Structures are given as C-alpha cells and as structure tokens.
Structure 1
Amino acid sequence: MPIDAASALAAAPRTDEIAWEPGDVQLYHLALGAGRPATDPGELRYVLESRLRVLPSFATVAGAGAPGVIRTLSLPGVDTDLARVLHAGQRLALHRPVPPRGTARTTTRVTAAYDKGTAALLVTRTDAADADGTLWTEEAEVYVRGEGNWGGERGPSARSAPPADGPDAVVDRPTREDQALLYRLTGDLNPLHADPEFAARAGFDRPVLHGLCTYGITLKAVVDTLLDGDPARVRGYGARFTGVVYPGETLRVRMWRAGGGVVRVTGEAVERGVRVLTGTVTGTDTVTRSAARSG
C-alpha cells in the first residue's frame, strides 16, 4: 500500500515505556567495536561496569526499542515494503547525559512527509523523558523508494560539502565481517543487515552495516579523538547517510573543528573510496587542541 502522508501526519503520537541496564550499554559499545585493545583504559570506560560511560548515540537503541526505520514503519499511514526503505539521516539532541541504567517514556510521531518525486522522505521525532524531565530528542529521516509523486511539498535540500581545508584529525576504524550480526543484537533486526537474499532484493551485493552502527562508530571516534574521551561533553549529533558500509570494510572518519564546540565529520568506506556519512557533532567549547592525525 502507498504511504498516506495525511494520515501519518495526523496520527496521535505513539508512546512506549523503555528500560535499559549497564549490560545493554556494554553490548551496544561492543557492537561499535569498543574494547579493542581489551586492556586500554580508554576502551574499558565503554565496556567495564565499574567505570562505564555512555556514548550518547546509545539513545538510538535504548530499551532495545525499534530503531528509526522500523519504528517509522509501525506508525499509522506508513505501510510499505521494507526492502524499499533506507535510513537517510539521524539527529540527536541531548538534554542530559544518558545514564547507564534507566527507564523512560518515549513519544514518537511523524513530523514531516516530503514528496521527492521517485520517493517519499518521512521524518519522525522521538522524545524520551524520565521522572526528572526530557533526556533526549531524536529525529530519523526515512527514505522510501517508489512512494513519491503525490503532489506534496518537496522539502529542503540537505546537501552540504565538507570544509575545503584539510581535516584536523583523521582516524580509521576497521569493521568486522560479523559486525552487523553483532550490532543487530541491540534491537535492529532488519534483514537487510543479515540476510543475503533480502539484501539482493533491496539492491545490494550483500548485507550492509546498519547506518546507526556507522553513526555510533563515527561519534565514538570524535569523542575519543577531540573530546578527551568524555561522552558527556556531546550536546548534539546529526548525520546524513550518503552511502553504505559493508561489514569488513574500514571506515575513515575525518574531523574538522568549526568553532563553538562544533565538529564537522565525514565517513568514508576506504576500500571503495565512497563517502558514507556527513555530519556535525556539537560539544562543549573547550575542544582539545592537541589531537594528532592518524590513519
């Protein structure tokens, strides 16, 4: 069935109760590649419960709830073949640091539906709040091929070029061949990331790494390289997915300090020379000035 944009926009928000524990956070970090080397103090902060810090992008999987794409497809007015769906972008605003253990109520609704001609672009917003108030707000952009041409608003263009000057830091993050199989244990069971037959039906040579896994790996690289390894310094993070990473490829993350605590980032699949992510991390104003290039 085609997407009913009017029904999706008019639908009442969906509310869910979620809960998470330190083990969920540790699994998420391990699924991003944390813990290597296993004795590195900087890595142990992501995987050892006695010193656990939470990477803010954990919010995208907290409570093992459905991630942006799957959550969007469960909303009223959205009924389409999962093989035609791509995660186009993700934005996250942190109101407080994410605790290693917690409960929250999430409220999700479709906030925009754009007609791209050959596709629809849906934007969903999820607010998570606990007893002390709002914890985070996230927005997911979901691209649905073959669902355009209903005469709706085309929406803004989000294309942006990376800075013309050289990056302030470059790091390479190799991914594992089984990385998508591990990451899906955080709650994203989209068969695109595990089933070769489904991936072929979706137009890919083989299963691809979750966009939100690439998203988390990139944020961790910024935190470790430019934010003194302190995830609590992140205030916001937005990214667009411009390509895919295949498990086993190397993700090259380039970072530019843009002033005011803003870091511009790009991600590239090194083996194919394909840019897969562009984004912006907003942190504190005291970004470390001594990061060295590597990779």
Structure 2
Amino acid sequence: MAIDITLVGQRGRTVEKSWTSKDVLLYAIAVGGGLGHPEEELEFTTENFEIEQKVFPSFICVAATAPLPDGLNIDFTRMLHAEMSFRLLDDIRIENQVLATSTIAGIYDKGSGALVSTKTEVVDTKTGKALAELTSGLFLRGEGGFGGDRGPQDSWERPERSPDFEVEYETRPEQALLYRLTGDRNPLHTNPVFASKAGFPAPILHGMCSYGFTSRALLHKVANSEPSLFGGMSARFTKAVALGETLTVQIWRTEDGALFRTLDEAGDTIIDRGRMTLR
C-alpha cells in the first residue's frame, strides 16, 4: 500500500508521560551502565548511601515517546529505525511528568523505501517549559519510488585525523531482553521467527540500545560525566548489530561538542554521521 504523503504536518495526540527513579535506573543498566564494572557509573546505576542519582541524557528518547497520527500504517517487518536526534533544553529530573506531542515533519522518497521524519515536542508539566525536542527517522522498505523529495542532505564529514577518544563497550547476548523492558517490545530483537521474516538470521540489538551505549561514551569523554553539560546528539543507524557484539565509539572533539561514529567488531560503521553538542 502506497504511503500517504498528505500526512506531513499532521500531529498525533498529546500524551502525558511520567517516570520515576526506578525507570531511570533500569534504562542505565539497559544501555550498559556498570556492565562488567559495577563499581563504576554508580551515580547512574544506584541512588543510595550518599550517592546523588543522575540521568543518562539519552533516557529522554525512551521516556518521552508519543504516538504518531492515525493513518501511518507500518509493517514492522519492513521498518528500520534510520535516524535519531535529541536536544535538551533543561535538565532531566529523576522523577518527572511531561506532555509529549509528535508531528510528521517529512516523508522522503529514498528509492528503495520511504523515510518518515517525525518531531516530538516535550514539555515539563511542572514548569510549563519545553524540556526537549526529539527527531526520529523511520525507513519503510518497499515504500519508495513515489516521486517525492529525497530529503535534506547532510554535510557531515569524518575528520582527517585520528579520533581524540576511542571507547570500547561490550554488549551481552541477552542485552535486547533487558533493553526491551524500557518500552521497545519489537519482536525483531528477541524473536528468531520474526527476525527471519524481517530478513535477519537472528534477532538484532535495538538501534536505540547501541545509541544509548554511544551516548554514555560522549557523556563521559566530552561532557565530563555531567548530564547538565550535555546539549544533545544526532546520528544515523547504518548497520544492524548482532547481540553480544563489542562496540567502539570514535570521538572527535569540536568547538561546541564532538563528531562521532560507532563501529562493530568487524570494523563496520553501525552509527554514523554523529554530532554531539554541549549546553
């Protein structure tokens, strides 16, 4: 069924989302906080004995999701998460309530598929102020070729020098079972039969899980482990990640933050064209 490009500009319903310390802790360990080194990152993975709990900045991407407008029918066996970005306008509190509203910002013709770009506005209900802006790109295989705009071009270029930092993180074979508890129950990441129908030999790691691992590296190396300094990040997902892979985050410092990409064990880029900004 052809995608309906008249949906561009349509807003979904506004929903109230909330989270507690427990949700923040679950996300922290779901994206590898303390993995293999439980004595590290305690301010993100615990909340007791004089340790002030903090929030990994990328938590906002799972905490403040909002429904898309009706009419965007997605076959999840043919959908891939292609892009993700967020911008923080204020600190994320440990316990909070927000209002989140998503809009279809664009539908682009990529030939082999369609890229649906969505934007989500997140407002803190306590202060009435904007807390964050999220932008996501969903690639729908087989929905392209309708003669539409291909979308904006990205001028990102990898610096012609060695990375300023390289951070290596192991993921666990059961990482997706843990990460799904943060809200993404797509069976592509846990069900071998569903993964096979989607064209994969086995379940794959959530793109947003590897994104969370990457965000940790940026937080520690660029923002000095201080979430209040983390302004936001954007990146493209370029390759599926097998469960249990070791990820390497390459970071190049810039005046206002960093450029980055993330590699798998084979040296292939799985997250590309990354930008991180400081606040």
TM-score norm. by structure 2 comes to 0.93
Letter in 2 for 1:97: D
Secondary structure of the corresponding residue to residue 19 of structure 1: strand
Structure 1 residue 204: Cα displacement: 1.2
Residue pair 2:175, 2:243 contacting (<8 A) in 1 also = yes
CA deviation profile, 1:100-140 (whole Å, cap 9, x unmatched): 10001001110101111221000001011013210000000
Corresponding residue for 2:149?
153
Corresponding residue for 1:56?
57
Corresponding residue for 1:108?
102
Unaligned runs of 5+ in 2: none
> How has the CA–CA distance of structure 1 residues 196 and 14 changed in structure 2, closer, same or farther, with 3 Å as cutoff?
same
Give the Cα separation in 2 of the matches to 1:138 and 1:177: 29
Structure 1 residue 10: Cα displacement: 4.6
The answer to whether structure 1 residue 211 and structure 2 residue 207 are counterparts is yes
Corresponding residue for 1:21?
20
Structure 1 residue 151: Cα displacement: 2.0
Paired residues for 1:1-295 under 5 Å: 1-6=1-6, 8-36=7-35, 37-40=37-40, 43-50=41-48, 51-62=52-63, 65=65, 71-72=67-68, 75-130=69-124, 131-132=126-127, 133-158=129-154, 160-259=156-255, 261-270=256-265, 272-278=266-272, 279-284=274-279
Residue pair 1:2, 1:79 contacting (<8 A) in 2 also = no
Letter in 2 for 1:55: F
Letter in 2 for 1:9: V
Residue pair 1:112, 1:123 contacting (<8 A) in 2 also = yes
How many positions carry a matched residue from both structures? Answer: 272
Residue pair 2:102, 2:119 contacting (<8 A) in 1 also = yes
Unaligned runs of 5+ in 1: 285-295
Give the Cα separation in 1 of the matches to 2:213 and 2:144: 32
Secondary structure of the corresponding residue to residue 17 of structure 1: strand
Residue pair 2:8, 2:106 contacting (<8 A) in 1 also = yes
CA deviation profile, 1:64-121 (whole Å, cap 9, x unmatched): x56xxxx45xx32311311100000101010001111000100111010111122100
Residue pair 1:3, 1:77 contacting (<8 A) in 2 also = no
Give the Cα separation in 1 of the matches to 2:187 and 2:165: 34
Give the Cα separation in 1 of the matches to 2:42 and 2:110: 44
Give the Cα separation in 1 of the matches to 2:154 and 2:187: 28
CA RMSD of aligned residues (A): 1.5
Q: Which shifted more, 48-57 or 182-191?
A: 48-57
Structure 1 residue 212: Cα displacement: 0.7
Q: Which shifted more, 169-178 or 152-161?
A: 152-161
Letter in 1 for 2:107: A
Letter in 2 for 1:269: D
Which is richer in helix? Answer: 1
CA deviation profile, 1:137-156 (whole Å, cap 9, x unmatched): 00000000000122211112
Give the Cα separation in 2 of the matches to 1:228 and 1:273: 27
Residue pair 1:5, 1:77 contacting (<8 A) in 2 also = no
TM-score norm. by structure 1 comes to 0.88
Structure 1 residue 202: Cα displacement: 1.1
Letter in 2 for 1:3: I
